[in-house]
Amino acid sequence: MTDLPRLATIDALVQAVDLKRKRVIDVGAGDGNMARARAGHGAHVLGVECAPQQLARANAAAKTADERYVEGVGEALPAPDASVDLVVFINSLHHVPVEGQGKALAEAARVLAPGGLLYIAEPLAEGAMFDLTQPVNDETAVRAAAYARIREAASHGLEQIWEKVHLMVRRLSTLDALRDQMLAVDPDRAPLFARHDAELRRRFDAIPLGPFNMRQVEQPIRVNLLRKVA
C-alpha cells in the first residue's frame, strides 16, 4: 500500500468535489471539525449528528462560515426532497446500524437534487491504524456490510462515478490521547480499553517513533463518489 497517495480527509474531498456554494449535508458530523473545514471552502453545511456529546462540541465551537448542526441519523435526514447538492459520509456509514445502512443511502438519494453527489469515505479493515485499535474497535463486519450496501446503490437511483483508495496518516503522541479521542466518539468503549490495556500498549509501543516523538500510522480509506440519476 506504500504506493497509494497520502491525503488528509479534507484534501481528498476538495480534490473530488467543488465545494463552493454547494448545499451540503454532513452525516455523522461528530464534533463538527470536518463541517467547519467544508464551510471554509465555501459550502453551506448542515451537520447531522446523533451523539449528544459530539453535537454539543460541534455547537460550542466557533463558526468558520455557514455551518450549523442538528440532531439526527442517516436513516432519516432532516431535509426536504431534492434540496442539497452533496451528501457526505466520512467514516460514518458503517456506524449506521447494519439494518439501516441501505435506508441511509436511500435517504441520501432522496435529499439530493438530480445530478447531486454522494461522497462516502470508509476505512478499510486493514492497515496499521486498524491493527492498533482492533482489540477495542474491530469493525470488520460492519465495514464489509457498509461496502455491500454501497455496491447496491443503483437500487436507490445512485450511479457510481468512481472508487479510489488513499492513505490517511495519523500522528499519535500517546496511547492515552488516542483513547480519549475514541472515547469522545463512543464512551461505551471504556470497559474494552480497560480490559485490553496491556495489549494496546504493546501494539502502540511497537510502532517506531518518528519526528517530534510521534508515532505515525497509516489507514487506507476507500472513497466512493456517486451521482443521483436525474
The per-residue pLDDT for range 98-127, each reduced to its tens digit, is 999 999 999 999 999 999 999 999 999 999
Q: Determine, yes or no, domain membership for 153.
A: yes
Whats the size of the chain, residue-wise? Answer: 230
184 falls within a domain = no
Q: Based on the structure, what is the number of domains in the chain? A: 1
Task: With respect to residue 112, please indicate whether it lies within any of the assigned structural domains.
Answer: yes
Strands 215-228, 112-123: pairing kind? antiparallel
CA angle 100, 163, 41 (to 5 degrees): 85
Q: State the sign of the Cα–Cα–Cα–Cα dihedral 32, 4, 95, 99.
A: positive
pLDDT at 1 over 80: no
Residues 6 or more apart whose Cβ sits within 8 Å of residue 46: 24, 25, 26, 67, 68, 69, 70, 78, 79, 84
| 3-class DSSP state of 131 | helix
Distance (Å, whole) CA 117 – CA 85: 6
Query: Mean pLDDT, the chain, as a whole number?
Result: 95
Is 14 strand, coil or helix? helix
| Each residue's pLDDT tens digit, 68-77 | 999 999 999 9
Interval 159-209: pLDDT, tens: 999 999 999 999 999 999 999 999 988 899 999 999 999 999 999 999 999
Mean pLDDT of 141-156: 98
Half-sphere exposure of 6 (CA within 13 A, CB side): 7
In angstroms, rounded to a whole number, what is the distance separating the alpha carbons of residues 9 and 23?
19
Domain with residue 97: its CATH number is: 3.40.50.150
1, part of any domain = no
What is the band of 3 on the pLDDT scale with cuts at 50, 70, 90?
Answer: confident
Cα separation values, 175 from 89, 127, 195, 214, Å: 27, 17, 14, 11
Domain residue limits at 57: 9-124+138-167+220-228
**pLDDT the model gives residue 5:** 93
| Exposure on the CB side of residue 19, measured as CA atoms within 13 A | 28
Residue 131 lies in a domain: no
Residue 88 domain-assigned? yes
Query: If DSSP codes are grouped into helix, strand and coil, which group holds residue 5?
Result: coil
pTM for the model stands at: 0.95
CA 158 – CA 96 distance, rounded (Å): 19
